[in-house]
Structure 1
């Protein structure tokens, strides 16, 4: 069965980003696909140290839990990432994870190529579009397919539970998730 792996970059226990991804997961599952959401909340993901060992090991030399995520990603057909926006950018741990995942993929036969997915940004007031652009670079440079939606994949929220109040943002994210699922089904 096809699967979509989702990565939540929020450090909060009651996270709007996680809530958005959970709603996306429901939509994907309604299309008959499996989902798994992994939280980076208590993980200490390090930045790439440019050691080049991934080309020999076909995994990252750093041992901080990212290799387990990479193995799950290898077995997935889709990949959606969600990040809160802090100071106009995605969370540092997420970008470190994406850079290392990309390095391992490129040194291991480009296992990300033709996977379907994309980013979702959640923020109180602004920085959404810059954050989406920042995260999109990972998908494009790794030869992945990013479907559209009815608007940009962004949700306005700050305090726990506020994501639901942004009905347009939630509708956009859920439509994006539906498009990810439908595209995977078309390709498979």
Structure 2
């Protein structure tokens, strides 16, 4: 099985990246293929609501001049998506918001391609606002019929300066538990994904 962690922080090697790697460690130990992808600080535009993805239905966005489509290809292949973001004015980074909007829409346009995948949000925060970041990420997961595992607390780690989150023992322990839970859930659902309930038509 394959898990992808997407770092929405432009600060490489920072607190968000540290937390994401702590989630990936138990998955790698359980035999999963794991990958950390950097989106923060990269060129990625917001969704233009052109709806070409609904016309083309090729698993791609019509905008091809940024990092989105290569990342989307990995998201479609993954069994588990772990999105991490720092807290910017009580919300995700601009790059993470662009990824959420475009990936969520492209997935919906392609037969709800994220349906049945595992989705987890991870947040780095100095002091407050992390739960809103957590919700922003999970809202996309939920609308795409993804499965969101819990852990021993909300998936957040505290620290402002680079590496400061290493001192948050509770936060790091939560990330380890989250990785273990994703590994357990993945093993539990893998044999049954083909029988995931189909979306029925909705009438007013």
TM-score past 0.5 threshold: yes
Instruction: Indicate the residue corresponding to 1:100 in structure 2.
Output: 102
Q: Note the alpha carbon deviations across 1:29-88, whole angstroms, 9 max, x for none.
A: 111111111011331111100111011222101111211111111111000001000111
* Structure-to-structure mapping, 1:1-188, within 5 angstroms: 2-57=1-56, 58=58, 59-63=60-64, 64-188=66-190
- Could you tell me the TM-score, scaled by structure 2's length? 0.89
Distance 2:77 2:179 in 1: 19
> 1:6 is paired with a residue of what secondary structure?
strand
Q: Structure 2: any 5+ residue segments left out of the alignment?
A: 191-204
Greater Rg by CA: 2
Distance 2:6 2:162 in 1: 19
Detail structure 1 runs of 4+ shifted over 3 Å in the superposition: none
Please tell me whether the aligned partners of residues 10 and 42 of structure 2 are also in contact (alpha carbons under 8 angstroms).
no
> 1:163 is paired with a residue of what secondary structure?
helix
Q: Which moved more, 1:41-50 or 1:149-158?
A: 41-50
- Could you tell me the TM-score, scaled by structure 1's length? 0.96
Q: CA deviation at 1:142?
A: 0.6
What is the number of residues matched between the two proteins? 187
Q: Structure 1: any 5+ residue segments left out of the alignment?
A: none
Q: What RMSD over aligned residues (CA atoms) do the two structures have, in Å?
A: 1.0
Q: Note the alpha carbon deviations across 1:111-141, whole angstroms, 9 max, x for none.
A: 1001012101101111111111111101100
